[in-house]
């Protein structure tokens, strides 16, 4: 009886894992229709995503960075919401790119040291007129290993798995 229960549990776990991996991502609606395309002349890492070359996370700019150019938001955002974001500490973006908790990923290692462009993992993000509702590229172990192989980068398990 115990063996059957264990086997049923194992099957349930495998089915759930396959379901998560095979289903298309669920799109989320971002709080504002931010256009990467309209901001393409900015240096992504220098202006908006300052951690991309030096940190683990690329980061999302603080509202003060946006305010440097957008003292007001004529035509691009309702002034009431703009003021709420200014007073509330920022835009409540919904994160769309996730790595499992056991995977270690450092933007500094990939962008700074590995000299990868943003498009390698984030697709054509710089040409998008609206924010993505889901990760443009599905980051799987196969995706990462294909890139590591192509770039002749370390593929030792301990480099990424903690």
Which pLDDT tens digit goes with each residue over 14-70? 555 555 554 455 688 888 888 899 888 888 888 888 888 899 988 888 888 888 877
Q: Kindly state the average pLDDT of the residues 90-106.
A: 88
Confidence of residue 142 (pLDDT cuts 50, 70, 90): very high
Q: Percentage helix, strand, coil, to 5, in the chain? A: 45, 0, 55
Give Cα 150 distance to the centre of its chain.
Answer: 22
pLDDT at residue 80, rounded to an integer: 84
Taking the whole predicted model, whether its pTM rises above 0.85 is answered as no
Confidence of residue 157 (pLDDT cuts 50, 70, 90): very high
| Range with the poorest average pLDDT among 33-37, 69-73, 77-81, 90-94 | 69-73
Distance CA 27, CA 126 (A): 19
Give Cα 89 distance to the centre of its chain.
Answer: 21
Q: What are phi and psi of 75, to 5 degrees?
A: 75, -15
Confidence of residue 106 (pLDDT cuts 50, 70, 90): very high
| Exposed e or buried b per residue across 24-42, where buried means at least 16 C-beta atoms within 10 angstroms of its C-beta | eeeeeebebebebeeeeee
pLDDT at residue 10 tops 80? no
Among the listed residues 52, 30, 20, the one whose alpha carbon sits nearest the alpha carbon of residue 134: 30
pLDDT at residue 147, rounded to an integer: 92
Place of tokens 């890139």: 147
Is there a contact between 90 and 63 (Cβ–Cβ < 8 Å)? Answer: yes
């Amino acid at each position: 009886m115990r063996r059957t229960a264990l086997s049923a549990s194992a099957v349930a776990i495998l089915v759930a894992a396959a379901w998560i991996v095979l289903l298309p991502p669920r799109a989320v609606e971002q709080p504002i229709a931010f256009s990467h395309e309209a901001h393409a002349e900015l240096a992504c890492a220098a202006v908006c995503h300052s951690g991309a070359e030096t940190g683990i996370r690329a980061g999302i700019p603080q509202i003060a960075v946006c305010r440097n150019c957008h003292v007001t938001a004529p035509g691009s955002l309702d002034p009431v919401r703009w003021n709420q974001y200014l007073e509330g500490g920022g835009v409540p973006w919904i994160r769309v790119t996730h790595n499992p908790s056991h995977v270690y990923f450092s933007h500094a290692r990939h962008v700074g040291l590995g000299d990868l462009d943003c498009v390698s993992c984030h697709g054509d993000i710089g040409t998008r007129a609206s924010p993505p509702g889901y990760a443009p590229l599905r980051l799987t172990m196969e995706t990462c290993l294909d890139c590591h192989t192509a770039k002749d980068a370390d593929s030792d398990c301990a480099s990424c798995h903690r």
